Amino acid sequence: MSIAVYPGSFDPITLGHLDIIKRAAPLFDELFVCVMINSGKAPFFSLEERKLFIERTTTEFPNVKVEASEELLVNYMRNKGARVIIKGLRAMSDFDREFQLALVNRKLNPDFETLFLPSSEEYTFLSSSIVKEMARYGADLQMFVPTEIIGDLLRRAEHRNGSGSAL
């Protein structure tokens, strides 16, 4: 059985993330989308909220399982029996960082491989950080995030703004 893990902070999941899931899911018997902690980021949503958002937006993929983990990626993968890490790349700046992480992960466990999937052209500019900033100003998010989470994102942005209205 081929098992892969698509790890990320997914704060929140974007259409770019969803595009990577759609393209990776048919390649494996099981694809674990794992919400993980990035110590370099201050999350907008809790680990559990991010997990629920991904569950809501991936119901059409029977082989996709969504989990959250606070452990080291290689330990999580070992526990799942996975051998492949899926990483989406938007630009060369992503590649530099992700290539470094792939080498570290292979050093930690030489049996693991990283599969880089380039972003679809329409999502190369898209990031969760940009989406959160647009939400703070009440922008139309339909071209950027799954419709299932737009309301949650706008409410959180409104709450964080403290203004009573993000629109």
Annotated catalytic, 128? yes
Q: Is 90 a catalytic residue?
A: yes
Does the annotation mark 160 as catalytic?
A: no
Q: Summarize pLDDT for 147-163 with one digit per residue, the tens.
A: 999 999 999 998 776 54
List helix spans (H) across 15-165.
Answer: 15-24, 47-57, 73-80, 92-108, 128-136, 147-161
Q: One of 83, 90, 106, 120 is an active-site residue; which one? A: 90
Complete domains list, the chain, with CATH: 3-123 (3.40.50.620)
Residue 106 predicted with pLDDT over 60: yes
Query: Is residue 167 pLDDT above 60, yes or no?
Result: no
Q: Which pLDDT tens digit goes with each residue over 33-77? A: 999 998 888 899 999 999 999 999 999 999 999 999 999 999 999
Quick one: pLDDT at residue 162? Answer: 54
Catalytic residue among 69, 128, 132, 156: 128
Show the CA angle centred on residue 141, arms to residues 136 and 144, nearest 5°.
115
Predicted model pTM: 0.92
Query: Does the active-site annotation cover 22?
Result: no
